[in-house]
Amino acid sequence: MRGWGEAAPLPAFNGETQDHALDAIGRSGPGLVGADVRAFRQLAERIFAEATSASAACALETAVFDALARANGTSLRSFFGGAEEQLVTDVTITTGTAEDAAREARDFAAFRHPQDQGGRT
């Protein structure tokens, strides 16, 4: 069963680049092909023990969970309990010029946080 994961390297946050994450996935990912995803705890331990990139490790672990959920005929949402009706996330306004930050802040003005009364603008 195939599973999908996503790496989100952000040099300003964790020092990782996309090339670094892709290289780490390229080195570790093939060793997971054909693995029994029912042994997800052992696979996760192996992934994080060998990790040279935290974002790559997250992507590989997520792919294992996705493959397990698919093998069981369910979604990741259901696999992890399915109780939440909304996705909770965050937004990072990148550093750079003041104009860049202002533009991104305007772009994300509609973003809402569940604890906010009326959101952030």
Q: For the segment 41-63, what is each residue's pLDDT rounded down to a tens digit?
A: 999 999 999 989 999 999 999 99
Model pLDDT, residue 38: 93
**Residue-averaged pLDDT of the chain:** 86
Q: What is the mean pLDDT of residues 32-37?
A: 93
| Domain boundaries of the chain, sorted by first residue | 11-79, 86-121
Q: For the segment 54-99, what is each residue's pLDDT rounded down to a tens digit?
A: 999 999 999 999 999 999 999 988 988 888 777 677 777 777 889 9
With CA atoms as reference, report the closest residue to 3 among 49, 87, 72: 72
CA distances (Å), origin 85, targets 77, 78, 88: 10, 11, 10
Q: What are phi and psi of 43, to 5 degrees?
A: -65, -45
pTM of the model: 0.72
